[in-house]
Amino acid sequence: CSVRLSFFLWGIMRLGFCLSFQPSVTMMGHYFLRRRAFANALSSTGTALGLSTLPLLANFLLGQFGWRGSFLVLGGLLLNCCVCGAVMRPLGAKHSGAQRTLTNKAAQGLSKQPIKGPLQQEKEGLKARLRTAFSDLVVFLRRHMAFDLLVSNPRYRAYALGVTWMMLGFVVPLVYLVPYATANGMEQDRAALLMAVLGLVNIAVRPVAAVFFGLPRFSGCFVYVFAVALLVNGLSNSICGAAATFSVLLIYVVIFGLSMSVIGSLLFTVLMETVEMSRFPSALGLISMLESGTLLIGPPLAGMLVDSTGHYSYVFYACSVTVSSSGLFLIAAFYYLDRQKKRAGPPAAAYQQKPAISLVPDCQYSHVPSTQGGKPAISLVPDCQYSHDPSTQGERSADTVCVTNV
C-alpha cells in the first residue's frame, strides 16, 4: 500500500464518517423533544468510550497482527456503523385517505402527460439545459445550506463564529499531551496513562451531565453553561503549560476531562436551540465546514510553534488563549442578544386595542335595534350582519353583541 493510496483511502473513510455522523445527530434531534439535551449528552458518551478504549485496542492489534491486520480488524469494527444506520428509521407523517386519493389523482394526471423522447430533449439546446441545471443548483444550495442564517439569525452567527474559533485550539492538547510529558522526562507508560484517565473521566461525567441537563431548570441557559465550560477548558491548558510533573498533569486531565464532557454534551443541544429543527441539518453542515478549516490548521500551526520555540508549553498557552476567548465571546454575544430581545419586548401588534363589543370576527352590522327604557338594548343575535348604523332611539345608541355557537 503506497502513501498516495493511503491518503486516498483515508479520504474515502472520512467521507463515510461525515455521511454517517451528521444524519445520526440530525435524527437524534427529531426523535427527542423534551429529553433532547439528555439524549444528546448520553449519545456523546460513545465518544468518551472510544477515546479511552480505541488507542489501547489499536496498540494491542498493532503488536499482534501488524498494521495490515490492525486495519482489517478496525475496518470490521467500523462496518457496524452500517448496522446502526439500518436500525434508524425516519419519522414520517401519516397521510390521510383524502391525501392519498389526491396523490393518486395527481399521479394519474401526470401519467397522462406526454413523455418527451430523446430527440425532443436534444432539441431544447445546450443553453436551456445548462440554465436549468444552474437554477436547480441555486435552489439546492438555498435549501440545504445555511448561508442565509449567517445573515438573518444573529444567534446562529455568534455561535458559528465562537465554535469555529474554539476548534482552532480545542483538540490540539489531545495531540501534544503525551509528547509534552515524555519530552519533560516522563515515562511512556505514565504518559499514556494520562490519556486513559482523560477517557475515564469523560465516561463517568457524560452520563451524569445527561441527567442534569435533562432537568427543566437548565432549559434556556445551555449556551451559558457551554460557554463557561469553554472558559474553564481554556484556563486549564495554562495549568498544563506551567509544570510537567505527573501530579500536575493528572490534575490537568481531570479538569480538562470535566469541561470537555460538558462541551461535548451541549455542542449540538445549543445549536438545536439556536435554529429551527427544519433548518438544523443545513446549519450543522455549515458549522461542520467552518470547523473543519480551523480543525485542519490547528495542529500544523502548533507544530510550527514547537519547531520555532523548542518548547511544548507555548502550544498549551496558545490553546488556552484561543479556547478561553471563544467562551468569553459566546457569553458576551448571547448576553447582548438576550438584552436586546428583552428591550424589544413583544411585537407592537400585541398592544393594538381590540374591539370590546364584537365577539365574532368579520361581523357586519345591518341595523341597530331600538332602545328600551332609555338604556341601550343588547341583542345576542347569532350570525348577525350589520351594514350601517341608523338613527338611534333614546339617549344612546344600542350595542349589539354577536355571539355564535352559544
What pLDDT shows up at residue 129? 74
Number of neighbours of residue 31 by Cβ within 10 angstroms: 14
CA distance linking residue 260 with residue 266, whole number of Å: 10
Q: Which of 103, 224, 88 is nearest to 155 (CA)?
A: 224
**Residue listed under C-alpha cell 499482534:** 64
Strands, DSSP E only, in 257-323?
none
- 136: buried, middle or exposed (CB in 10 Å: 19+, 13-18, 0-12)? exposed
Nearest C-alpha neighbor of 322 from the set 158, 160, 171, 169: 169
What distance in Å separates the CA atoms of residue 260 and residue 258, rounded to the nearest whole number?
A: 5
**In angstroms, rounded to a whole number, what is the distance separating the alpha carbons of residues 98 and 181?**
69
What pLDDT, on a 0 to 100 scale, did the predictor assign at position 345? 67
Beta-bridge mates of residue 364: 385
Domains by residue range for the chain, with CATH = 34-79+146-344 (1.20.1250.20), 359-387+399-406 (no CATH)
Q: 376 in helix, strand or coil?
A: coil
Q: CB within 8 A of 352, min separation 6: which ones?
A: none
pLDDT tens track of the chain, all 406 residues? 677 787 788 888 888 887 887 788 777 777 877 777 777 777 777 777 777 777 778 878 888 888 888 888 888 888 888 888 888 777 665 544 444 444 444 445 444 445 555 555 555 567 777 777 777 777 776 666 777 888 889 999 999 999 999 999 999 998 899 889 988 888 887 888 888 888 888 888 888 887 787 777 777 788 999 999 999 999 999 888 788 888 999 999 999 999 998 998 888 889 888 988 888 888 888 898 898 889 889 999 999 999 999 888 899 999 999 999 999 999 999 999 999 888 886 654 444 444 444 444 444 444 445 444 444 444 444 444 444 444 444 444 444 444 444 3
Helix (H, G, I), strand (E, B) or coil at 332: helix
Query: Would the pTM count as exceeding 0.75?
Result: no
The cell numbers describing 201, all together, are 473521566
The pLDDT assigned to 143 comes to: 66
Phi, psi values for residue 367, rounded to 5° = -160, 165
Q: How many Å apart are CA 281 and CA 145, to the nearest integer?
A: 9
Cell numbers linked to 402:
354577536
Which helix or strand (DSSP H or E) is residue 156 part of?
helix 154-170
Distances (CA, A) of 268 to 198, 265, 284, 301, 339: 22, 8, 8, 27, 24
